[in-house]
Chain A
């Protein structure tokens, strides 16, 4: 009897997850249908455009890998929003945390010149994560100590981060006309998949040759992003720390009664959120651009909010949210080649966000109707 009940509950759980997933999928389809209208405005054929979109994102092995590459920073900034959200905080600051992380990692990547790779790379990544963590932890601390609204403080810190890293940092450190910090040492670079065939160790893999296409831009930070998502999932749902965060997020008065310090949980989630945003920046600096570059944030911090919401702020869901946006970005590029202006690509992305948000209302409506009607 008890066993049956548990199985039933599990099944309910899976069913509700499938419903959520289905609704996310439906919203993408609806967004693409509405997108047809905008593509027609540009006198292009929607069929060609969407074929291009699909082909760009999934059409070849290299394209799929590049979709993963584009989703990497989005998964991480998505996590940077999702985790604090679970503790009841709105982290608008992933952009600034990413910049601080990228800048710190980029600098660490070139100032240490004689470190072996197995020390230099992890060190640079950790420095980047720490910089992001501090940039996220600061508003967390202000919230905990003084109740300062984290939305405002994180937005302000975004502006400060831009000024600090780009306007001041790059201008101070750059050695060429390129708006970037000096190129990092090879010892600090993240492994790029296109280098695998020639790599002394990885090159020995039997399937190493599949990565020979020089157009492949995927690097190891994708793997780190997946690991980060799994670690955050574990923290959130399997540790006392995560239990306390979720308790604070649902009801901080109740958590306080239970001996939990809401301020402490808030600070920790913001610190961890900042750390993953910092990892996003470190990955871009050490894997994609091989230096900290102006404009490399590309609005990831803000797109991350949409990524997190599509993923229902569940760390594993965020991976899928990131992949979706990565695919839209990667496929959108090919859509541009097919003659659709990049603005239209942006509109289609915005439509996806719009419909994911509004179809949540559909879900609420369905629940309500079910309640009103009962069964039979």
Chain B
């Protein structure tokens, strides 16, 4: 590779081995000064490993790194920081009880004597904040501010330390759509000020929207580096997965049958006892997918928790097959053939320290053949787990591996495998593909459609509007805890939904019109 003047970073033939895996296999990755460079690939393709090598968190087994044309040898993050490399981690490295300012200057504090010079620190934060349009409240404590603001604090921290090259590890995974837009504005302003940005993602729309160039990794190898304007989303997906991927969901028209699930005037409160779901009524029939579109935080989480027996219902009725399940607990609802993919797989969906066998029976562990008379039948569980691993193509270590060692996509497949293989008649899928790679998204979508075609009713909630639009047969729009309209999916579009979601045209009827 030639060492041209305008490359700020060149990583040549980087190899990094882990027991049993080549996480990076002769990877080449070069970044031009002042560009926004997307590093994409499926989960487990080696993106994060490569960035950790760059940041000095991992020692590489082979390869060379040049920064501004000079060969460098990074022994730890401090070396990287000294060079001007900053990293915004997926899970923020912030101290909760400290203020935004204190977090930003931590480790490099302006002092008067031995005491932190609060005023100087605050001024510095304000200066950076204004220069790049990074709005933060310098005096707020981290635990009190939104995820978006925490991320901005992280960005300011890297800039405060003098970063010229900023690495973002899946920065949008934790953000709402609005916050994502704001982040991209920040990217643009950073670029205008001459900073270079590398961002790791597997969301193709984002790649198209913001990046200048794209490097694709697959199975630890660098597949290609392309100019964003020369490729389509489909091209990138194909590079990532190594085969053609259907970004569009293929499905036939729904053939709805009898009513299977009914919610009547449901009211639920949130953790602070404030009404979150304020009189929701819905009907789902067999063989159809009812999508719920809405900006996050409009009662979706509370609605799903109430329907699955985790949260208390204040008033209203929930019926499955005309059976009243309003007062049922989580276990009893599961026994009514209601399956549930929860929105937060790490908090709810899996016991991360349990292995695959133990996870694949969670919620069904007291049923035969997994146990009999309170005694676990681990032989049966092992057979069953192996069957699901094969059937759902769950990769990453086999049935004795812990769930936390799987990639996000495989964790989600594990949940889907568990919930779908019980042959549910009704399925509540909440953010079923959040933080999941393209190949797994395609797989999970296919599975949901297949369930529907086999006669199950599906309630789908997703922050991804295009997912709601492409999977659903009917779409209910939720705003401030109420259903503002129910539309036929084939007769609406993102613009109309977007308007309804933000409450700009509230229809007279809050009732479910699809009966």
User: Measuring CB to CB, which residues of chain A are less than 8 angstroms from any residue of chain B?
Assistant: 2, 5-6, 9, 13, 238-241, 243-244, 246-247, 250-251, 253-261, 371-376
7 contacts between A and B (CB under 8 A): A239-B371, A251-B350, A254-B347, A254-B348, A257-B310, A257-B342, A374-B58
A254 to B351 alpha-carbon distance, docked (Å): 6
Determine if B111 is an interface residue (Cβ-Cβ < 8 Å). no
Give every chain A residue within 8 A of B366 (Cβ-Cβ). Answer: 240
Contact with A along B341-374 (1 / 0, CB 8 A): 0100001111111100010001101100001001
If A9-B398, A9-B400, A375-B18 touch, does A257 touch B375 (CB 8 Å cutoff)? no
A250 to B352 alpha-carbon distance, docked (Å): 8
Give every chain B residue within 8 A of A256 (Cβ-Cβ). Answer: 310, 330, 348
Interface of A is mostly: helix
Chain B residues touching A, range: 35 or more
Task: Quote the shortest CB–CB distance from B420 to chain A (angstroms).
Answer: 16
A258 to B367 alpha-carbon distance, docked (Å): 13
Give every chain A residue within 8 A of B185 (Cβ-Cβ). Answer: none
**Which residue in A247, A261, A373 is a CB contact (below 8 Å) of B351?**
A247
Q: Find out whether the CB atom of A253 lies under 8 angstroms from the CB atom of B347.
A: yes
If A243-B358, A375-B19 touch, does A238 touch B376 (CB 8 Å cutoff)? yes
**Which residue in B334, B349, B354, B400 is a CB contact (below 8 Å) of A247?**
B354
Q: Find out whether the CB atom of B365 lies under 8 angstroms from the CB atom of A243.
A: yes
**Which residue in B19, B351, B378 is a CB contact (below 8 Å) of A255?**
B351
**Which residue in B17, B23, B349, B371 is a CB contact (below 8 Å) of A376?**
B17
Q: Find out whether the CB atom of A250 lies under 8 angstroms from the CB atom of B310.
A: no
Other than the given A9-B400, A251-B352, A256-B348, 9 more pairs (CB < 8 A) read A9-B398, A13-B400, A254-B350, A257-B308, A257-B310, A258-B362, A258-B363, A259-B330, A259-B363
Contact with A along B15-52 (1 / 0, CB 8 A): 01111000100000000000000000000000000000
Determine if B511 is an interface residue (Cβ-Cβ < 8 Å). no
Q: Find out whether the CB atom of A257 lies under 8 angstroms from the CB atom of B386.
A: no
Determine if B238 is an interface residue (Cβ-Cβ < 8 Å). no
Task: Quote the shortest CB–CB distance from B363 to chain A (angstroms).
Answer: 4
Task: Quote the shortest CB–CB distance from B256 to chain A (angstroms).
Answer: 29
Q: Find out whether the CB atom of A250 lies under 8 angstroms from the CB atom of B59.
A: no
Q: Which of A239, A241, A246, A253 has the most CB of B within 10 A?
A: A253
Task: Quote the shortest CB–CB distance from B418 to chain A (angstroms).
Answer: 10
Task: Quote the shortest CB–CB distance from A106 to chain B (angstroms).
Answer: 34
Task: Quote the shortest CB–CB distance from A150 to chain B (angstroms).
Answer: 21
Give every chain A residue within 8 A of B17 (Cβ-Cβ). Answer: 374-376
Give every chain B residue within 8 A of A251 (Cβ-Cβ). Answer: 347, 350-353
A372 to B401 alpha-carbon distance, docked (Å): 20
Give every chain B residue within 8 A of A244 (Cβ-Cβ). Answer: 365
Determine if B323 is an interface residue (Cβ-Cβ < 8 Å). no
Give every chain A residue within 8 A of B376 (Cβ-Cβ). Answer: 238-240, 243
